[in-house]
Amino acid sequence: MAEFTLELNDDQKQVRDWLHGFAADVIRPAASEWDEREETPWPVIQEAAKVGIYSLDFYAQQFFDPTGLGIPMAMEELFWGDAGIALSIVGTGLAAVGVLANGTEEQIGTWIPQMYGDADDVKVAAFCSSEPDAGSDVASMRTRAVYDQAKDEWVLNGTKTWATNGGIANVHVVVAVVDPELGSKGHASFIVPPGTPGLSQGQKFKKHGIRASHTAEVVLEDVRVPGHCLLGGKEKLDQRLARARERAATGGERVKNAAMATFEASRPAVGAMAVGTARAAYEVALDYAKTRTQFGRPIIDNQGVAFQLADMRTQIDAARLLVWRASWMATTGKPFESAEGSMSKLYASETAKKVTAQAVQILGGNGFTREYPVERMHRDAAIYTIFEGTSEIQRLVIARTLSGMPIR
């Protein structure tokens, strides 16, 4: 088991510097254009594929880093470049995590490569969980999956929303209800292969931030998928449902659902994204404060500005430490007994919102214009306290874990 450390090894530093160079040379110069266009930056994704960043091999190497720091380090550097473009590059990862968390080895080997494609023909994937009436309240999910035993097929019907890459994805991973009486315990995840009839893109959302990332509804109308597209397989599902029914009848231990397993595994990574955006805004504000003069001296000479920058840097470093701790714990199999994953996502997300707002304030009127990147960073940062579990949900998870009480 890898010991917890605050020092990256030489290989990790090399990867970090490589990613930082790509973010600085490729992502940042394109950030403003694709934010304005509000379109998926396919040329940038393809460049990432050509150099090996957008690939199954790269993410596998980072995911299986024995220290747990590979993924958060990568996320921080890419999102330091630009959150919208970076999310387009890494958005496929949530669907991949959904398969890794719930699928069989055969399913992992079959479907994850198809999520990425190759450098000459890049593909993306989508994880579809949220619904118009079921975001934080996953128990209200209405998308149904009904098993057709005669054909060994599952029939999916419903509408998903807020799906990154929804409708444009080669592979969709869809969470659906298989047993309504079990609430959130009666959910399962399904692969919808490319070209499956009945799946279509609904509304594409015009967003406040991360506008280079495609977000849309996914409509499922009598979508039929083969039995082998049920992640984990039917035997495992039947066993899990039977345990859930038994525990529901006896008031016993709760069982985690498929969507929550995915989100729990990805929360520290989202925290790392927030750290990257916060760090980027802080660096812009620091440089500006050193060069901007008022009343004959740089504005950083004023305590009101200098103390803000001191707090910003302290909060960013604290957020990174929480993310690294949670990532190390997840990789080394240590349970989140105090909801450390949610802690990391909560603190880093709130830090990103606060730090980017302070950066805008330090730049003054310039910070409020699109001539400076902190305006975009501030818009982008708003998403971190919303997606993959709002800050309120993170606090609920933490409070329930600490107290052992069903806090509402």
Active site residues: 388
Do the beta carbons of residue 341 and residue 267 sit within 8 Å?
yes
Q: Which amino acid type is present at position 385?
A: T
The four Cα atoms 144, 147, 153, 159 give a dihedral, to 10 degrees, of: 0
- Beta strands 153-164 and 215-226, pairing class: antiparallel
DSSP state of 289: H
Please state the separation of Cα 87 from the chain's center in Å: 8
262's torsion region: left (phi>0), alpha (psi -120 to 50) or beta? alpha
The H-or-E segment that residue 252 falls in is: none
Half-sphere exposure (CA, 13 Å, Cβ side) for 43? Answer: 7
Count CB neighbours of 17 within 10 A.
11
Do the beta carbons of residue 374 and residue 292 sit within 8 Å?
no
DSSP letter string, 324-373: HHHHHHHHTT---TT-HHHHHHHHHHHHHHHHHHHHHHHHGGGGGSTTST
Count CB neighbours of 204 within 10 A.
15
Give the whole-angstrom CA distance, residue 95 versus residue 114: 11
Q: Which amino acid type is present at position 142?
A: R
Structure tokens that stand for 170 in this block:
């080669």
Give CB contacts under 8 A, 24+ apart, made by 239-248: 241/178, 241/179, 241/182, 241/185, 241/186, 244/179, 244/182, 244/185, 244/186, 245/182, 248/182, 248/185
Give the whole-angstrom CA distance, residue 216 versus residue 204: 4
Give the whole-angstrom CA distance, residue 232 versus residue 131: 23
